[in-house]
């Protein structure tokens, strides 16, 4: 049996957020710090401002769409009331980020990982399109599989298992317990 040298020793809960670090403060092998090498370089203040303006524009378009749905009254809220509240929050937070949040540091540049939210949005739109046609079970299962396997990097076994469990829980809650009028196959 060999003895551990000072360089080999790993202290658990020694790093930020409870990550494992060695004596020198470097991330231990297999620790979350191994992802630090894949971090893209900072994007800079112009890219941060552009991102803030894009999210503010999305919030404004959501607010316009929400008003078109009808707001109703506080006693009888319309279909657009909550979407308007969320859209206003998006606009306010976007503008706050543009004005005061940029001092917090530079954002990351566009990389291959930047496409993941767009893939998530595209699959969510597919779910919305397929929901009235074939019910929620199959689209929800496919969405969950894509998100867990392709976007989350889970193994096939856990992605399939958890996707089936998610759809089962959704069915039990919304169809069984709440009796909502969601299109479903069974």
Helix H, strand E, coil C: the string for the chain is CCCCCCCCCEECCCCHHHCCEECCCCECCCCHHHHHHHCCCECCHHHHHHHHHHHHHHHHHHHHHHHHHCCECCCCECCCHHHHHHHHHHHHHHHHHHHCHHHHCCCECCCHHHHHHHHHHHHHHHHHHHHHHHCCHHHHHHHHHHHHHHHCCCCHHHHHHHHHHHHHHHHHHHHHHCCCCCCCCC
Distance from C-alpha of 169 to C-alpha of 186, rounded to nearest angstrom: 14
State the pLDDT at residue 38: 65
pTM over 0.85: no
The model's pLDDT over 113-132, given as tens digits with 9 standing for 90+, comes to 778 888 888 988 998 898 88
CB 139 within 8 A of CB 163: no
The model's pLDDT over 48-94, given as tens digits with 9 standing for 90+, comes to 888 889 999 999 999 999 999 998 888 888 889 989 999 999 999 99
């Amino acid at each position: 049996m060999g003895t551990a040298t000072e360089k080999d020793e790993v202290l658990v809960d020694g790093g930020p957020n409870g990550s494992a670090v060695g004596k020198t403060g470097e991330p231990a092998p297999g620790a979350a710090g191994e992802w630090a090498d894949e971090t893209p370089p900072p994007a800079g203040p112009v890219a941060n401002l552009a991102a803030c303006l894009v999210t503010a524009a999305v919030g404004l378009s959501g607010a316009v769409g929400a008003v078109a749905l009808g707001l109703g009254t506080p006693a009888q809220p319309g279909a657009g009331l909550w979407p308007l509240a969320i859209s206003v929050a998006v606009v306010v937070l976007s503008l706050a980020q543009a004005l005061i949040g940029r001092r917090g540091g530079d954002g990351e540049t566009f990389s291959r990982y930047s496409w993941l939210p767009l893939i998530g949005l595209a699959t969510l739109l597919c779910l919305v399109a397929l929901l009235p046609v074939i019910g929620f079970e199959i689209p929800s299962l496919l969405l969950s599989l894509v998100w867990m396997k392709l976007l989350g990097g889970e193994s096939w076994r856990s992605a399939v298992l958890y996707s089936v469990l998610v759809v089962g829980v959704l069915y039990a809650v919304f169809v069984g317990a709440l009796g909502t009028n969601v299109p479903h196959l069974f």
